[in-house]
Each structure stands twice: as C-alpha cells, then as structure tokens.
A and B are shown apart, each in its own frame.
Chain A
Amino acid sequence: MKSVKKTRRKDFITYGIVVIAFIVMQALVMTGHISNSLKNQLIPICVYICMAVSLNLVVGVLGDLSLGHAGFMSVGAFTGIIVAMSLQNAIPSGALRLVLAIAAGALTAAVAGILVGVPVLRLRGDYLAIVTLAFGEIIKNIITNLYVGVDGNGIHFSFKDAMSMGMGLDGKAIINGPIGAVGVTKLSTFTAGFILIMVILFITLNLINSRTGRAIKAIRDNRIAAESVGINVTKYKLMAFVISAAMAGMAGALYGLNYSGLAAKKFDFNTSILVLVFVVLGGIGNIRGSIIAATVLTVLPEALRQFSDYRMLIYAIVLILVMIVTNNPLLRSVADRFIGSLTGLFRKKPASQTAEGGADNGK
C-alpha cells in the first residue's frame, strides 16, 4: 500500500542521514581534519540527538508538554556511572560495561517514568508541564544529596555524608553529594553514540508506525474519540511516557560516562528547556527535524566562540530567525521545492513529476 511504502522510505532516509553523517565524521576524525572542540562535541551531539528524539515522543507524538526530561537523563547518567564503576573489577571489557550501564540507565529511568507518570499523566497542558518541571528539580536535589560508594561488600548509600556510608577501607566513593560523580572512567565513544542513536531511532520510528503509535497519536488528536473507539488512554499515555523516559535514561548513561566527573546540577531546568528547544525547532512530531536541530544547536555555541561575549546573543538571534523562516509560507515553499528536487534525484519516474508539480506551485 502506498502510505506504508511512503513512511518506510521516510524512515530509511532518516537512518541514511545518520549513517552518512557518522561515516563522514568518522572519516574526518581518522584523517585529523577536525577541530579539537568539535571532536569533544561528538558524543554530546549524539546524546542530545537521543534526548530530542525521546522527548519528541512525548511532546510531538503524545502531545503532552514535559519540562522535566533532564530528570530522566540524570537518573540514567548516575545509574550508568554507578553500574560502570562498581563493575570495574568484575568486567574488564569497557564496551560491555558501557552496554550494561546504558541498559541499567534505561531501566531506572523507566522506573522513574512510571513513578512520575502514574500520578502526573492525569493532568493536562500547563499543569502537566509544571509538575514535570517540579519533578526534574526534585531528582536534581535528591542526587545532589546522595552519596554512593562501593567496597568489597557491595554498594553503600547515604543521604548524610560520605562517612555514614560505612564503607570498608577498600571503599571507593562513586557519587559524592554536591560534588557529584568523581574519578569516572570514560567509556563512551563516538561509535557507541552512533549505535545508540540508531537503536533509539529504530525503537521510536517502529513504535510510531504501529498500532501502539497510532493509539498514542489518536490520544493526541482527540482523547475523547480515542476512548470511544476502545483505546485505553491511561495505558498508552503511560507507555509513551515510560518509553521516552527509558530512552532519556540511555542517553544519560552515555553522557555520564563521557566525563571524568559529573554533578547533578548539570541536569537542571535549562537542560530540559534546551532539549525542548531542539524538539520545537526541529518541528513537533518530526523525528528527522529533531536530529538536525539537536546537531546544529549543539555545535552552534562552540562555532560562535570567536564572537566571545556576543555568542549567546547570536545564538538567540539564530533561534528567532529559524523560527521566523520555518513559519514563513513563501520561504517554506522555496525550501520545499529545494528539498523536493533533491529527493527527486533518488526517486524513480512518478516522483520527479511531484517535484515538477511542486515547482509549478512555487511560481
């Protein structure tokens, strides 16, 4: 059927863009044609792409505004760090520890998603946004007061101070309250980031094009009608929210294991908003747009470093300009024509006709 093929082709283009971008960047890294600052940005770019895609599942597909997405990222990051650090002696392979850390991050973030989702998803609109915002802050404050260490007997927790964990002499602190995680072994690699993006894209795109995804979109478009055709609204809202949280947890684990130290205050309201900006700028519900927006807006502040004090000002101006441009019908039709003729190159006969049709409309 036509529509099935169309969505499948769209998905493959999205995968293709990511694969090509990865190969190009990898080639640049190999040949050394890449600035050091951009090289350091590669993993954060992967992380933010994953974050944007996962938030798009809640904001774009489910249609609920969540302002606490960094909270789930934080849960995933610190779980990942604890798992990777405590298994350091047991599992020598860094790659395997990274996989376990990401899986554990997904799991705990999913649990956090259920804990938050059950009471919170009864709310709608502004109220949901405010409560998720509060949730993000609560997570941040809990982890700021959390002490975790590991010794021969296992993992120790405390909310008071490092001493009250009661570790043995061989003990090693992993998370040190306000200072955060210290002495973390860096495990994340660009390749791992690329694979994680592909996994998250695979989950998200396959989910959207299934009965579950259609149920979620139906709730977004009309909750009452969705109920009237037998969709269990609570179930599918929670499912979207938890899957999104789990994916944010994965991204968080990758992020946490990219630095030697990490404090909980990194995952504050600003980070949640930043991810939301990626989603809005890339187009709500548009997965490919999220990927592009996350990449551009992560690179942009670094690229603007030469403007020193003015760089955040320029960043803001770029944001506003992009918003204006993407909402301008004339500029949009020009852009569509451009993209249409580009994609037309890859298609067979009937597609080139649509490209011409698009050009006629533009005249």
Chain B
Amino acid sequence: MANKVKLVPVPSQSVIPERDIDKSPILETHHLGIDFGGLVAVDDFNLTIGRTEIAGLIGPNGAGKTTIFNLLTNVYQPTRGTILLDGKATKGLKTSQVCKMGIARTFQNIRLFSEMTVMENILVGLHDEMDYNTLSSILRMPWFFRSEKIARERAIELLSIFNMEDMADDVAGSLPYGAQRRLEILRALATNPSLLLLDEPAAGMNPSETEELMENIRRIRDMFQIAVLLIEHDMNLVMGICEGICVVNYGKVIAKGDPDQIKNDPVVIEAYLGKKGAK
C-alpha cells in the first residue's frame, strides 16, 4: 500500500500538437432538468464537451447557469435526464464522489478554507493523492512522511503555476482577492480533474487581470490537457478563449456554437438586450 504513491507529474508545458477532433467527449448531458417545487429551473439541457475543449456557458442573470454547475457536481440531484462523465453516469453519487470521478469546480463567491494556510488548502485538494490512513498518521509511520513530502512538493509545483510559492504559509483568508481566486483554481486542479468548472473566474477583476486570467486558463488546459467549462459575464474573456459556447436563458439552451456564430445570433442578442436590440 505504502509503495504505490500515485501522484501524477506535472505535464510538460508543450501545447498539444494536434487537437484530436474525433476524441470521445468528456462530458455529455442528455435532457437534463431540475424543478424546484413548481419552478422549472433547468429543462432539456443538452451539452457535449470535448476532452481538451474550453467551453463557455453564458446567459443573462438568473438563467440557471450556476444551477447547471450544481447539477453537474451533484449538489442538486436532477429531476430529469442523465449526466455522463467519460461515458459513466453520475446519477445518485455524492458531490465528493463526482469530484473523485473527475469534475472539479470553483465558486462564484469564493469558498476557500479561509482559516487554513495556502499550502493546506492545496493539500486538502490533494487529499486522495495521499494514501496513508488515519491510524498511520497518528502513529507517524514512515510512509506518512513519504506521502506528505511528495504531496507538499506537488503542492509547490501547483502553486508555481501562478507564481504563488511564496504565499504557501499565508492564511488563505488574508490573501488579496485575485490571489484567492487563483488559489481556488489551483485547489480544484489539485484534485486531478478531467473537467474543470469555473464559475465567473473573472468576477471583480480589472481588464489587465482578466487578460492574465485568460492566458492562465489556456495554459492550464495545455499543461493538464483537461476540459474547461466556464460561466462568465465578461464577453471579452468568453469570446477570447472559448472554443464552444452554450447560451442559456430561463433554464433552456437558446443557442450553441463557436464565438462568431454566437456573436451574430439574433436570439442571443435578444436575450441579452431585448427585442429592440435585435433589430
């Protein structure tokens, strides 16, 4: 047990030479829907995300975007429909089990472990990468130290993505806002996901910070070769980095396509600006 420490090394920085178009999708949802009492919050939501795709989920306020994230991570159990992650249904699983299957997320309002240090926050994300049990941690067995050491090195590697190694011993709640957002992304990455959900990652950021964030999201996708689904209101960001965009309004998909198609779609313009704007 002690010998098979299964930490994944950080992949090389090289961009994938050719993006596999025929790859099987990492996430599929079929006719997904949820009702809260009589209110249909999400209905007939179909989405397919490729293995290394950066996808955007946009829509006016209250359209049901975060509800969809909560459905994908099984915070809510769907009333209708199925979610397939890498071909496997996630129905009935707990949020923590869905995370183990490979979906990690960040939150619209930052949810860090604010009284713990930056390092500890990442280490919680690396929880399943450490394979010693509670008893061997109390007895401080040799493989406890080995596993902890590997995990801490891995955490430093992760922090180095955003040049945050110096902050490792700071309390997470005391970090500046932007660093908190970045830490949340790193914590999600620590769980070794195949799909990363980002809920308004650019909220509260100025244009230059947003620019940096876009670069970072692309970099993360290239380094880890994962899919990213992000909710965002900043259209520069969405149009700049998303390869596929899904627009929802009133819980229903109203348009899907690449950024150019979405920009010129009259239905989308109407949803955002009203009927007059569409003319």
Q: Please give the residue numbers on chain A whose beta carbons come within 8 Å of chain B beta carbons, in ascending order.
A: 1-4, 6, 202-203, 206-207, 210-215, 217-218, 220-222, 224-233, 239
Min CB–CB distance B94 → chain A (angstroms): 7
Task: Say if the beta carbon of B187 comes within 8 Å of chain A.
Answer: yes
Asked whether, in the complex, the Cβ of B112 is within 8 Å of the Cβ of A225, the reply is: yes
Query: Beyond A211-B130, A239-B134, is A227–B96 a contact (Cβ under 8 Å)?
Result: yes
Once bound together, how far apart are the Cα atoms of A224 and B139, in whole Å? 30
| Minimal Cβ-Cβ distance residue in B for A204 | B138
Task: Say if the beta carbon of B124 comes within 8 Å of chain A.
Answer: yes
Task: Say if the beta carbon of B75 comes within 8 Å of chain A.
Answer: yes
> What residues on A are CB-neighbors of B94 within 8 Å?
227, 232
Once bound together, how far apart are the Cα atoms of A101 and B117, in whole Å? 40
Asked whether, in the complex, the Cβ of B111 is within 8 Å of the Cβ of A210, the reply is: no
> What residues on A are CB-neighbors of B119 within 8 Å?
1, 3
Asked whether, in the complex, the Cβ of A222 is within 8 Å of the Cβ of B112, the reply is: yes
Most B CB contacts (10 A, CB to CB) among A203, A211, A224, A227 go to A211
Q: When the two chains form the complex, which single residue of B73, B95, B123, B168 contacts A211, counting CB atoms closer than 8 Å? A: B123
Task: Say if the beta carbon of B105 comes within 8 Å of chain A.
Answer: yes
| Minimal Cβ-Cβ distance residue in A for B155 | A1
Once bound together, how far apart are the Cα atoms of A35 and B240, in whole Å? 78
Asked whether, in the complex, the Cβ of A229 is within 8 Å of the Cβ of B99, the reply is: yes
> What residues on B are CB-neighbors of A232 within 8 Å?
94, 96
The digit string for B112-153, where 1 denotes a CB below 8 A from any CB of A, is: 111111011001110110101010011110001000100010
Once bound together, how far apart are the Cα atoms of A220 and B124, in whole Å? 13
* Apart from A210-B132, A228-B96, A232-B94: 10 A-B pairs, beta carbons within 8 A: A3-B117, A203-B138, A210-B138, A211-B137, A221-B116, A222-B113, A222-B114, A228-B73, A230-B191, A231-B127
Once bound together, how far apart are the Cα atoms of A227 and B113, in whole Å? 12
Asked whether, in the complex, the Cβ of B104 is within 8 Å of the Cβ of A211, the reply is: no
> What residues on B are CB-neighbors of A220 within 8 Å?
115
Query: Beyond A217-B120, A230-B127, is A212–B137 a contact (Cβ under 8 Å)?
Result: yes
| Minimal Cβ-Cβ distance residue in B for A223 | B111
Once bound together, how far apart are the Cα atoms of A215 and B120, in whole Å? 10
Min CB–CB distance B130 → chain A (angstroms): 5
Query: Beyond A230-B99, A232-B96, is A206–B140 a contact (Cβ under 8 Å)?
Result: yes
Once bound together, how far apart are the Cα atoms of A213 and B137, in whole Å? 10
Query: Beyond A217-B113, A231-B96, is A226–B124 a contact (Cβ under 8 Å)?
Result: yes
Once bound together, how far apart are the Cα atoms of A4 and B139, in whole Å? 17
12 A-B pairs in the complex with CB atoms less than 8 angstroms apart:
A6-B169, A206-B140, A214-B116, A221-B116, A222-B113, A224-B111, A225-B107, A227-B96, A229-B104, A229-B187, A230-B100, A231-B124
Min CB–CB distance A122 → chain B (angstroms): 14
Once bound together, how far apart are the Cα atoms of A2 and B191, in whole Å? 24
Min CB–CB distance B187 → chain A (angstroms): 6
Task: Say if the beta carbon of B34 comes within 8 Å of chain A.
Answer: no
B:62-120 near A, CB below 8 Å = 73, 75, 94-97, 99-100, 104-105, 107, 111-117, 119-120
Closest 10 CB pairs of A and B: A210-B137, A230-B99, A221-B113, A225-B111, A227-B95, A218-B124, A212-B134, A3-B169, A222-B111, A218-B113
The digit string for B228-244, where 1 denotes a CB below 8 A from any CB of A, is: 00000000000000000
> What residues on A are CB-neighbors of B113 within 8 Å?
217-218, 221-222, 225-226
Query: How many A-B contacts at CB < 8 Å in the complex?
Result: 106
> What residues on B are CB-neighbors of A212 within 8 Å?
134, 137
Min CB–CB distance A316 → chain B (angstroms): 30
Once bound together, how far apart are the Cα atoms of A213 and B144, in whole Å? 13
Query: Beyond A211-B123, A231-B96, A232-B96, is A206–B138 a contact (Cβ under 8 Å)?
Result: yes
> What residues on B are CB-neighbors of A214 within 8 Å?
116, 120, 123-124, 127
Asked whether, in the complex, the Cβ of A217 is within 8 Å of the Cβ of B138, the reply is: no
Query: Beyond A212-B137, A222-B111, A224-B111, is A217–B116 a contact (Cβ under 8 Å)?
Result: yes
Asked whether, in the complex, the Cβ of A207 is within 8 Å of the Cβ of B124, the reply is: no
Min CB–CB distance B201 → chain A (angstroms): 15
Most A CB contacts (10 A, CB to CB) among B105, B130, B138 go to B138
Asked whether, in the complex, the Cβ of B124 is within 8 Å of the Cβ of A206, the reply is: no
> What residues on A are CB-neighbors of B99 within 8 Å?
227-230
| Minimal Cβ-Cβ distance residue in A for B74 | A227
Q: When the two chains form the complex, which single residue of B96, B114, B148 contacts A221, counting CB atoms closer than 8 Å? A: B114
Task: Say if the beta carbon of B26 comes within 8 Å of chain A.
Answer: no
Most A CB contacts (10 A, CB to CB) among B75, B111, B117, B124 go to B124
> What residues on B are CB-neighbors of A227 within 8 Å?
75, 94-96, 99
Asked whether, in the complex, the Cβ of B96 is within 8 Å of the Cβ of A230, the reply is: yes
Asked whether, in the complex, the Cβ of B134 is within 8 Å of the Cβ of A218, the reply is: no
Task: Say if the beta carbon of B213 comes within 8 Å of chain A.
Answer: no
Q: When the two chains form the complex, which single residue of B125, B144, B168, B169 contacts A229, counting CB atoms closer than 8 Å? A: B125
> What residues on B are CB-neighbors of A233 within 8 Å?
96
Task: Say if the beta carbon of B188 comes within 8 Å of chain A.
Answer: yes
Q: When the two chains form the complex, which single residue of A6, A207, A217, A229 contacts B134, counting CB atoms closer than 8 Å? A: A207
Query: Beyond A217-B113, A224-B111, is A2–B125 a contact (Cβ under 8 Å)?
Result: no
Most A CB contacts (10 A, CB to CB) among B107, B114, B120 go to B120
